[in-house]
Amino acid sequence: MSEKEYYKVQYAITSNYDFKDIKPHFIGQEQCRPGNESKVARPCYYPIIHYIISGKGMVYKNENAFPVKAGEAFIIRPGETATYIADNDDPWCYQWLGFYGGLALKMCELDDVFPIPGDIMSEMFEYINSPMREYKITAVLLKLYALVKDSKKNKYDYTRATKDYIKAFYMNSIKITNIAKQLNINPQYLSRYFKAETGISIQQYIVNIRIKEAKYYLNQGYTIASTAALTGYEDVANFSKIFKREVGMSPIKWKKSNG
């Protein structure tokens, strides 16, 4: 394996254009040495995005650890501190960008680690020596902002569509693979993002909807067996077990106390 060339470059973007919405502040690139440790020791007042060109490493912030690899980026939000360390065997090469302005705060809606197209960052570097660099880099930043908004919209749509599907078919056997097929996405991807958006798993959401509907049917005078069948449970014993686990009492006892 040939020895890598280790380097660090940084450019300040200090033109006096008074951009209000979003304004690039500095941009840089570094090929890190194995185990190289970098820190943001004092909370900054603007977001900083690092995009990993190659290699991998770990990011530590807010008492959490995030592995990050080539093709991914991580964000340090205003008020955060962070430590990020290059992998010993495959140290990362990354590009970073600091920026501020009204729209910059919208970037804080990003996950701690997220994918972005690498050409977004490389395009910014192409404009470093341009007399109009601040205009051009700001234009690319707005493109990145649009990608962020689209990403958030898509995640919300998947979550809403999943909920709609479950509400429509809770009385049937529901598999996550069937929902994912309906939405034309990977089931593991759907599971991860649904939980990230709602804080609970898809399976738990299914249970929540079924228990809610079961209470309605019991309140309307339906038998335990009929209620189980109407809420997607073929086995009455299993329905009773899940109902008691979720509600704290058996369906019979709940029906008597709420009748």
Most confident of 38-47, 62-71, 98-107, 160-169: 160-169
Enumerate the CATH 1.10.10.60 domain ranges in the chain, comma separated. Answer: 203-258
Enumerate the CATH 2.60.120.10 domain ranges in the chain, comma separated. Answer: 7-149
At residue 2, the pLDDT reads 44
CATH of 7-149, one of 2.60.120.10, 3.40.50.880, 3.40.50.300, 3.30.1440.10: 2.60.120.10
Tens of pLDDT along 6-38? 878 888 776 656 677 788 888 889 999 999 999
Can you read off the two tokens belonging to residue 207? 């249970």
Pairwise CA distance, residues 180 & 178, whole Å = 5
Q: For 208-224, what is the mean pLDDT?
A: 94
Q: What does DSSP assign to residue 108?
A: G
Q: Please, what is the average pLDDT of the chain?
A: 86
The pTM score is: 0.58
Please state at what angle helix 202-219 crosses helix 176-183, rounded to 10 degrees.
110
Domain boundaries 203-258, corresponding CATH code = 1.10.10.60
**CB contact burial 183-199 (16+ within 10 A = b; e otherwise):** beeebeebbebbeebee
Pairwise CA distance, residues 249 & 235, whole Å = 18
At residue 5, the pLDDT reads 83
Tens of pLDDT along 154-211? 555 788 899 999 999 999 999 999 998 888 777 887 888 788 888 899 999 999 999 9
Instruction: Answer yes or no: is pLDDT of 71 > 70.
Output: yes
Q: For 49-67, what is the mean pLDDT?
A: 91
Tens of pLDDT along 229-259? 999 999 999 999 999 999 999 999 999 888 6
Confidence of residue 152 (pLDDT cuts 50, 70, 90): low
Percent of the chain scoring above 90 in pLDDT: 45
